[in-house]
Structure 1
């Protein structure tokens, strides 16, 4: 939310505006707990220090502010072929997206676009990068049109986390949930090659254990997401590894009824680089 022209996070103000009827019944200690849990003070510090940046410049500034870097290895993509979809596992939930935007922009020498949950459009410095998808209702017609327009532009690389949600701990260890087929069908439709990327990282044991407890209690809402800002600040000073796989030509895919299995096959390629 903007305050005096500056972007700031204000939990109290958001609750007052979003749930005015229930706001007066929310105990103050609950509001304070939420502020601490989402690291409101620390997040506003980053927004203040990166003020005036947006898109990939905001990502670069954020990584520098947190003292976070990444190393890239593997197959370096053809900078001249921007008609691609970059797909990656999603281990962290926030920093991996920021790092992917930073890396892809530098790799291709142009701003990329990123398909995300429409709730993330609240992150104003990245609204010029994000392509919002409504996962909880009907897609806005304007947003749907923008997605098609961008996919049809061969000069814009596109990044997608096909799992949607960040990785969870399960039988495979820490790994993505099911990969959605959208990227396969879009690759076939718009003749976009696919670049598989493996991002080596993980959140704290607390995050995964909380997620498992939530599931055992039968709670469907992913309330563990409220702890993702805490995971960001726990990652201060870390270095991550990004492995880029060989580009997969769009002609190798059929899409349609074959798309779910093809999405799984690409997921296996990504985890094969671990």
Structure 2
């Protein structure tokens, strides 16, 4: 029993019939090692399906790597379609069958002629024969009917939409799938079931691609030989999150729909091409963080701060003194900064996180009167005071960005924020962040400032592609172009959008929604989550972004420079923060301005 006979080879190429017929065909089968494949197949063609599958995998040494996180993305019930790239032309079909058999044994795979002819596996495969000369052949109609029946029965269908093995494509100037077949993608689009992208990382031999450049037929008949040279070369697999029907409906045109699914599939492979997908580089050795200041020492210092006391709510008291007034509390704040930032892959790696700016900035902090401990803090820089004493160089953000002189009028009305944190034990509570924001409103009103400005960091632990996508997302949806023109980053960034990513599609899919951003990036970098401050500043405070910079002194985190205009803050939030502040100066004026802008 043979998989490929000399007669089939001759029927596929009239040239062979003219040049020597059966004798030449046999020689080609031997040269391409198809005869060895035929010999092996003769030993298994009567095997039970699962035994035959395992024998093939063992004999050819097929191995694969896929994470448990990715495997959990495959639904255990209901109809769905998987779409995959087709880098090898055979082994990925066998491995996909093994993978699906463990999860959904009722699966079917639309595959090429070679796999569909393996008798033990034929029950799982719906064949597509590249040797057929008529696209409208009976077998094509039969395959489509079987595929649709599979889905209507509530079962999964696996598809390689290119319909043939990856090869060098002039359009993309690389080895990749050809254009995914419209006839196949039309079935996917009309199925109205979830779609799961699956990416296979692998390549065939250089000889295979050279033959393909000479003649696509030579590439096809080389496939059986390629099937035999993957011994103990693990095929890496990435599985994306299911794309639900609502997400798919955003792309009514078949060409856009196809481009969307192809892009989602190939984006899964970016980790294999990003050298620093998980950037954990530490620039300096971590110093041991100093011991805590005794509580009684801190409380004695706090007792002297009545002039800088802002308010108390429940067991929390809030203060905003100059750093020079609180040497002991300043040390405790610097200690907790380093502790908190290290927990998320940031920090200075020094015993304390402090710098020259602390000498003349203020420290806004919350003290838990019951637990007798620090809860969280902001560093505050009053813009008018800084400009008059130090000029632009006095702002911390000047160390990250080149600031144009034209920005001075804005900075003169600005409180600079930085080094914000809430200690770990309080991070799941809403009250600390609410109190910090309430205190910021008090300071804005008290000193008659209009803007808040400061960097928000995105951990250096995240991949460059995650950072690049976050930059594109913020720049497209939450950017203030007029002020951004006065800002230039100081560090040359290596963060660029990967060539696989279709920026237009990415923005269309995410729609300015942080949940959609997280879902998109987590398929590529599973550890990514948008920093909570970025999400909250934008969604709750109407904050805008005006620049981006990589901070080499802060473990290569990405800084997004953000600015908030108090007059553009959401009315409901302002009223909530202003509660119990009826005697605050300028409060009524600000609330009226917010009210008028709301209408």
TM range (shorter): 0.7 to 0.9
Are the aligned partners of 2:81 and 2:158 in contact in 1 as well (CA < 8 Å)? yes
Answer with 1 or 2: which has the greater Rg: 2
Match of 1:3 in 2: none
Residue 181 to residue 111, structure 1, CA distance change in 2 (3 Å): same
Are 1:193 and 2:191 matched, yes or no? no
CA shift at 1:54, angstroms? Answer: 5.2
Question: Which is bigger in relative contact order (C-alpha 8 A, separation at least 6)?
Answer: 1
1:110-259 equivalent positions in 2, closer than 5 A: 110-117=105-112, 121-133=116-128, 136-140=134-138, 142-154=142-154, 156-170=155-169, 171-182=172-183, 184-214=185-215, 222-254=217-249, 258-259=253-254
Q: Cα distance, 1:63 vs. partner?
A: 0.9
- Contact residue 46 and residue 62 of structure 1 kept, 8 A: no
Contact 2:116 2:122 in 1 (8 A): yes
1:139-191 deviation digits (Å, cap 9, x = unpaired)? 4255443232112111x211100111111123442211111245554345333
Gaps of 5+ in 1: 1-6, 215-220
CA distance in 1, matches of 2:107, 2:152: 14
More deviation, 235-244/90-99: 235-244
| Residue matched to 1:90 | 86
Structure 1 residues 196 and 172 mapped into 2: Cα distance closer, same or farther (>3 Å)? farther
User: 1:71 aligned to 65, 68, 74, which one?
Assistant: 65
- Give a deviation string over 1:3-47, Cα, whole Å, max 9, x none: xxxx3346346579999xx96972665133222134233213332
Change in Cα spacing, 1:209 to 1:186, as seen in structure 2 (3 Å) is same
Asked if the contact 1:193–1:247 (Cα under 8 Å) also holds between the matched residues in 2, the reply is yes
Is 1:162–1:183's contact at 8 Å kept on the other side of the alignment? yes
User: Judging changes above 3 Å, is the alpha-carbon distance between structure 1 residues 56 and 85 closer, same or farther for their aligned structure 2 residues?
Assistant: farther
- Structure 1 residues 246 and 233, CA gap change in structure 2 (3 angstroms): same
Aligned to 2:529: none
Structure 2's unaligned 5+ residue stretches are 270-599
Which residue does the alignment assign to 1:4?
none
Q: In 1, Cα distance between the equivalents of 2:40 and 2:173?
A: 35
Distance across 2 between alignment mates of 1:164 and 1:255: 25
Q: CA offset at residue 128 of structure 1?
A: 1.5
Contact 2:80 2:156 in 1 (8 A): yes
Q: Distance in 2 between matches of 1:254 and 1:79?
A: 20
Aligned counterpart, 1:58 = 52
SS at 1:242 equivalent: strand
Q: Verify the 8 A CA contact 2:74 2:242 in the aligned structure 1.
A: no
Q: Distance in 2 between matches of 1:152 and 1:67?
A: 36
Residue 218 (structure 1) aligns with? none
CA, structure 1 residues 51+210, in 2 after alignment: closer, same or farther (shift >3 Å)? Answer: closer
Query: Shift of the alpha carbon at 1:229?
Result: 1.1
**TM-score between the two structures when normalised by the length of structure 1:** 0.80
Kept in 2, the 8 Å contact 1:85–1:183? The answer is no
Matched, 1:30 2:24: yes
1:102 aligns with 2:98: yes
- Give the Cα–Cα distance (whole angstroms) in 2 for the partners of residues 38 and 58 of structure 1: 23
Q: CA-atom RMSD, angstroms?
A: 3.1
Cα deviation, residue 192, structure 1: 1.5
Q: State the distance in 2 between where 1:240 and 1:15 align.
A: 29
Instruction: State the alpha-carbon separation in 2 of the partners of residues 157 and 249 from structure 1.
Output: 14
Structure 1 residues 55 and 262, CA gap change in structure 2 (3 angstroms): farther
